[in-house]
Structure 1
């Protein structure tokens, strides 16, 4: 029986979320450019912040500047809130 290391599984799922989120955000951004739509642009930014931002904070910024676990969690939450605000703005602007 093969037992996977939980840290590897966590990294793999976070990476898959970031990659799929980047693809969805990219498609939304293409739609924004094609239709010259500011609301779609904010939607793309929100999706990117929610899906890609936490991965970049957790696996990019945190090790780079030696953030504590609490600071890393705060960074992830701030990026997520920024993404939700961008999506809210995109929906309210219509």
Structure 2
């Protein structure tokens, strides 16, 4: 019986999160273009910030640049905060 590595499961779930987040962000962006709704644009940016950017930072930028785990975690947390602030603005500010 083959053993499934936890790192592979983590990679697959992170990639699935990024793909689904990108699809939902694309739909929000289409809503922005169709209705000229600033709220939908900020929603799309926020979704990318909390789903796609952390995946790119964890699996793309960090291994290539060779930064520490703490620096990667800080960058991911900052992307999450920026994404959540954008979503908050889309729901409340526009």
Task: Please confirm whether the aligned pair reaches a TM-score higher than 0.5, indicating the same fold.
Answer: yes
| CA root-mean-square deviation | 0.8
Does 2:30 match 1:30?
Answer: yes
Please show how residues 1-94 of structure 1 align to structure 2 within 5 Å: 1-94=1-94
Structure 1 regions of 5+ residues with no counterpart? Answer: none
Q: CA–CA distance in 2 between the matches of 1:32 and 1:57?
A: 26
> What is the number of equivalent residue pairs in this alignment?
94
- Following superposition, the deviation at residue 64 of structure 1 comes to 1.7
C-alpha distance in 2 between matches for 1:34 and 1:67: 41
TM-score (norm 1): 0.96
TM-score by length of 2: 0.96
